[in-house]
Structure 1
Amino acid sequence: MKIINSILLICGLASFVIFMSLLQPQNFPGTQFDVRVINGFTNNSSLPLVIWCSSEHNDMGGRALQEKDDFSWSLRTTFWGTSNHFVCTMKWDKRRRRFDAFKVPRDVQRCGLFRKCSWSVREDGFYFSNDEVNWKKDFSW
């Protein structure tokens, strides 16, 4: 009887995981997302946009981005949340801003079907897009 109950429990859990992945595959741990931060300034060739990004267990380092340059990475969501939150610090001239470049509760839906999370950093603020055609301003410097 214990073996049958164990088998039923395992089958039930497997069915639940399969059902959830079909229902909302972007919420399933192990789903890959592509994150991209673009220097969207119109004229800053003499002063680059400096970016530094990290997650709890992954310091990706910094870069100096010239006009239209980008900093991008891919990530896979996890059960434990260790790779589910990426923070970037941006510096341009005397301006400095830290922001969540990717955060599971906020981004699993808005990054869209293709799981593309793009940011364009501009003179007046930070814009988000999941297709790099339609941009929406999320916040200012």
Structure 2
Amino acid sequence: MKTLNSILLIFCLAIGIIFMSVLQPQHFYGVEYDVRVINGFTNNSSLALVIWCSSEEGDMGGRALQAGDDYGWRLRTKIWGTTDFMCTMKWDQKRRRFHAFKVPRDSLRCNLFRKCSWLVKEDGFYFSNDEVNWKKDFSWY
């Protein structure tokens, strides 16, 4: 009986690994993505859009983006999909912290071109995976 249980356990583990590697490879091994945040303000005046990002690997530092400037990086997802990049955006009195990349949300919607782009505007944050079609994801508040 113990042998049968051991065989059944090994079989179930093998099926699970096959499922994760074939049907959801982005959750099993590293996939590279490009993440980009663009200052899309049309009336930026003299105030820069300040961005500060970090991941579980550490602080990536801050940048001051003038109108049209961008800040981008390439990442590789970790095994079992734990990759998470958080950014804090500040413009004048507005401040917002958001996930610039998070595997459960972005591995599918960024998957076609492996590109996750954010356009930050006066009225909110817009997402695109091709930098042609933008969809508002959320507002500043």
TM-score normalised by the chain length of structure 2: 0.82
SS of aligned partner of 1:134: coil
Instruction: Report 1:23-62 matches (<5 A).
Output: 23-62=23-62
Q: Letter of the 1:43 partner, please give it.
A: N
The answer on whether the counterparts of 1:52 and 1:61 sit within 8 Å (CA) in structure 2 is: yes
Moved >2 Å (runs of 4+)? 19-28
SS of aligned partner of 1:109: helix
* Count of matched residue positions in the alignment of Structure 1 and Structure 2: 133
Percent identity, aligned pairs only, is: 75
Q: CA RMSD in A?
A: 2.5
Of 70-79 and 22-31, deviating more is: 22-31
**Distance of 1:86 and 1:59 partners within structure 2:** 10
TM-score normalised by the chain length of structure 1: 0.82
**Distance of 1:46 and 1:39 partners within structure 2:** 13
Q: Letter of the 2:32 partner, please give it.
A: Q
How far 1:26 sits from its partner (Å)?
3.5
**Distance of 2:108 and 2:81 partners within structure 1:** 16
Match in the other structure for 1:102 = 101
How far 1:22 sits from its partner (Å)?
4.7
Match in the other structure for 1:63 = 63
SS of aligned partner of 1:97: strand
Q: Letter of the 1:88 partner, please give it.
A: C
How far 1:57 sits from its partner (Å)?
1.8
List runs of 5+ in structure 2 lacking aligned partners.
1-9
List runs of 5+ in structure 1 lacking aligned partners.
1-8
Q: Letter of the 2:103 partner, please give it.
A: V
